[in-house]
Structure 1
Amino acid sequence: MDQDSNPKRTGVTRRGLLAGSAATVALANAHALADPATPSPAPAPATVPVSLNVNGTKHSLKLDPRVTLLDALRERLGLTGTKKGCDHGQCGACTVHVNGTRINSCLSLAVMHEGDEITTIEGLGLPGNLHPMQAAFVKHDGFQCGYCTPGQICSSVAMLKEFDQGVPSNVTEDLENIVFSDEEVRERMSGNICRCAAYPNIVAAIREVHGGGVA
């Protein structure tokens, strides 16, 4: 016999309890919908117009203001030479130049760079007209899988300019006479990680470009 139909049983039944709970939830939901003070889901963020000057070409885009420079370059402009590695600013694969300074593009919002001069690996050189650093990486086999290579090259070019400008590193002993050395190169390039461990060849490529006086 169904417990709910037992005439000798009194009090709250399981069926009655479940029905009451469902009614309470329905009433609460109806109240939330009717109450204007109840928070509603946040609307999708609006896009904003952004003008990016990349490799000498101006691009007019409409972007979610949360889009990183890295994603704008890769997903909107098709410049996939800039790689997404860790996406946390720790591997250097996404290094590009902004107004001549190297940055991790995964840590910077695209909307922050309105009017800036942005240079990616595609803007340094092309097949048949390689940048000296690109040619040196090929000559010295400064890559294996190649995933980190665009960031390594962009960082290398900017690093040599920093050295020539007298910017010291953590291993610089004499601030008035900075001596170029493998130790200096390794320290200054420490933000670019190579999982294939081609570091000796990368240092050799940088040393050759520095010795040739071009960067």
Structure 2
Amino acid sequence: MQIKLWINNREFNDDIAPDKLLIDYVREKGFLSVKRGCETSNCGLCTVMLEYKPVLSCSVLAVRAHGLHVTTIEGLEKEAAEFGGFLADEGAEQCGFCSPGFIMNVLAMKNELVNPTEGEIKKYLEGNLCRCTGYQGQLRAIKKYLSGVKED
């Protein structure tokens, strides 16, 4: 199948198999921040934005992205680095394996929710698994990031 899409504002045109997953297509194009973790759409490691909404790329066929814009963390370096600073300040950054997918969801949440409650933050991120943290540092970092509070 012939597809045309944009990844981080770069145009790609390819003939692909109809069953190719978006995660495989994006990784083949060199966007290696998108990771495979659980193979069951439960961990959030493969999160990308499709038309600025977070999706699990391991559950989306690449042909569904035809004519659309895909964004990976490589396309949001400035925003990702800013939030990464909040994570570091809270001691919430551990091995980093889950970070790209987690950060993609936090950036999407910032665009979608206005003044979310702690419950709304937890609900939004419930599909993101991290084996290193207890999530409390991450939650503190998210709250501070969303409120714009940066400690020096």
User: RMSD value over aligned CA atoms?
Assistant: 1.9
Question: Does the Cα contact within 8 Å between 1:144 and 1:198 map onto a contact in 2?
Answer: no
SS at structure 2 position matched to 1:125: helix
- Equivalent-residue separation in structure 2 for 1:63 and 1:184 (angstroms): 38
Partner of 2:121: 185
Q: Given the superposition, is the C-alpha separation of residues 130 and 101 from structure 1 closer, same or farther in structure 2, using an over 3 Å criterion?
A: closer
Question: Does the Cα contact within 8 Å between 1:69 and 1:109 map onto a contact in 2?
Answer: yes
Partner of 2:13: 60
**After TM superposition, where is structure 1 displaced by more than 3 Å over at least 4 residues in a row?**
none
SS at structure 2 position matched to 1:93: coil
Runs of at least 5 residues in structure 2 that lack an aligned partner in the other structure: none
Deviation digits for residues 5-53 of structure 1 (CA, Å, limit 9, x no counterpart)? xxxxxxxxxxxxxxxxxxxxxxxxxxxxxxxxxxxxxxxxxxx222120
Note the 1:155-174 alignment, pairs <5 A: 155-164=105-114
Aligned residue pairs, count: 149
Q: Given the superposition, is the C-alpha separation of residues 115 and 150 from structure 1 closer, same or farther in structure 2, using an over 3 Å criterion?
A: same
Q: Given the superposition, is the C-alpha separation of residues 155 and 49 from structure 1 closer, same or farther in structure 2, using an over 3 Å criterion?
A: same
Give the CA deviation at 1:107: 0.2
TM-score for both structures, normalised by structure 1: 0.64
Q: Please tell me the residue identity of whatever aligns with 1:208.
A: K
Q: Please tell me the residue identity of whatever aligns with 1:159.
A: M
Q: Given the superposition, is the C-alpha separation of residues 198 and 121 from structure 1 closer, same or farther in structure 2, using an over 3 Å criterion?
A: farther
Q: Please tell me the residue identity of whatever aligns with 2:125.
A: M
- Equivalent-residue separation in structure 2 for 1:114 and 1:104 (angstroms): 16
1:87 aligns with 2:39: yes
Structure label with greater radius of gyration:
1
Partner of 1:138: 88
TM-score for both structures, normalised by structure 2: 0.88
Q: Given the superposition, is the C-alpha separation of residues 51 and 141 from structure 1 closer, same or farther in structure 2, using an over 3 Å criterion?
A: farther
Question: Does the Cα contact within 8 Å between 1:125 and 1:134 map onto a contact in 2?
Answer: no
Partner of 1:201: 137
